[in-house]
Structure 1
Amino acid sequence: MAPKTAEPLDTELADLPWGLRWREWMARVEAVLFAASEPVGREVLARVVGKDCALDLLIEDISAELTGRPYEIARVAGGWQFRTRPHHAVAIRVARGEDDAVREFTQNEALVLTIIAYMQPVTRGAISRLTGREISRDLIARLHRQDLIARGPRSPEPGAPYTYVTTPGFLVQFGMVTLRDLPDLEALEDAGLLKPAADIALDLPISGEVE
């Protein structure tokens, strides 16, 4: 006996009144987001709703219904994701038996992560020249273990060292949708957080949407 083939999903729901159709689309999108462990992109959500569905408005309606709940829909890393609201973080850590202290980045870690975010792909040597200090392999490894950075292509400079780039985990960690959400680089230089160097071009690839 041949296995029963599942019927294709009716995305248009043309037989339903518009109000019921919208509610069903809301339920489907909420179910997909609830089941996902990573941010879900627009192209994925579009598979479960009709062609005339305005996803942004749909998600706004779902978010409105979540008002007062301990979780929300966040726009991160080019998609949407369910996450608990920040003020419940302490309760969650206590329930898990985790240390209540939130890990903070050291000054060097924050500086290196900032440079990689703006200058990627960038080598460890270039980061050292830009900051005016030696950047250790251990520091790079710590950021890599936290899934904040990853190896990029090898540099064409002598020795062909690896470059480093940010990851989707970086966007999630800092609540960004894309790298376009980074603050203005000149403001960081004016604040003295970055040391401009003549031998390093500050030609950022942000406009090219480095994901």
Structure 2
Amino acid sequence: MARRARAKQDLDTELADLPPELRWREWMGRVEAVIFASPEPVGREMLARVVGRDCNLDLIIDDIRGELRGRPYELVSVAGGWQHRTRKGFADAIRTATGLGAETKPLSQSDALILMCIAYFQPITRAELGQFFGKEVRRDIIGHLRGLGFIAAGPRSPTPGAPYTYVTTPAFLSHFGFDTLRDLPDMEALEDAGLLSKDRLLAGDIPLGLMGGEEDEEADLDEEVDADDGI
């Protein structure tokens, strides 16, 4: 800890001895290096540790993005920070060469619909989720979504028994490319596109085709629901 603290103190963040243009280039390099080295989105607070007090991080990010135009990777705003990501147009080439990026187990329709409800109506309890579907939401589905890191336990509900609620996580935002929950598709926009009706959702009439999914998975899920009267 002492060695790490000394390293922070030794880093000259103001760079007062450099002319403005070189100072700006050094700040750009530091910011990009920190983002590149991190496996997770990097927030503003962390980046502020390597630049001067008067440095405008938004302008730094804009300049880095400008230099990345035409490159196969870009700097994206996601999960409240910034992250380097390859452009979508190169996904097939990456999967063909390395196998990376292929989803080993895509979300079933039940998983996707429950995750959608949690995202829009969080914090929400398992019982409240069951009201949307008219049947109890199985614990194993909640466990699967938690295992993927997409949801976590939220505050206890004020309802009798004080059950835990569920909320989405930064991993959910990162996986689906959202910066904040405000980036979720607006409910009115979904209604205008004919994809979803808030009134139908609240009434439990949920269009199962909204989130996609394999037909054979859907058949298996229907059999499971009939068997144990749950989702």
- TM-score band by shorter chain is 0.7 to 0.9
Identity %: 60
Unpaired runs of 5+ in structure 1? 198-211
Q: TM-score, normalised by structure 2?
A: 0.75
CA distance in 2, matches of 1:88, 1:175: 16
* C-alpha distance 98-40 of structure 1, shift in aligned 2 (>3 A): closer
For these two proteins, the number of residue pairs brought into alignment is 195
Is the CA contact 2:94–2:101 (under 8 Å) kept in the aligned structure 1? no
Q: Which residue of 1 aligns with 2:77?
A: 75
Residues 70-99 of structure 1: per-residue CA shift (max 9 Å, x gap): 221110011101112122223333333468
CA displacement at 1:19 relative to structure 2: 0.8
Instruction: Give SS of 2:182's match.
Output: helix
CA displacement at 1:188 relative to structure 2: 4.7
CA displacement at 1:41 relative to structure 2: 0.7
CA distance in 1, matches of 2:96, 2:160: 50
The alignment's C-alpha RMSD in Å is 2.6
Q: Report the AA paired with residue 42 of structure 1.
A: R
Unpaired runs of 5+ in structure 2? 204-231
Residues 26-71 of structure 1: per-residue CA shift (max 9 Å, x gap): 0110111111111111111111111221111111111111122222
CA displacement at 1:159 relative to structure 2: 3.2
1:180 aligns with 2:182: yes
Q: TM-score, normalised by structure 1?
A: 0.81
CA displacement at 1:101 relative to structure 2: 6.3
1:46 aligns with 2:51: no
Q: Report the AA paired with residue 137 of structure 1.
A: R
Is the CA contact 1:132–1:195 (under 8 Å) kept in the aligned structure 2? no
CA distance in 2, matches of 1:179, 1:61: 26
How is 1:111-122 mapped onto 2 (pairs within 5 angstroms)? Answer: 111-122=113-124
Q: Which residue of 1 aligns with 2:202?
A: 196
Q: Which residue of 2 aligns with 1:206?
A: none
Q: Which residue of 2 aligns with 1:110?
A: 112
CA distance in 2, matches of 1:141, 1:59: 37
Q: Which residue of 2 aligns with 1:200?
A: none
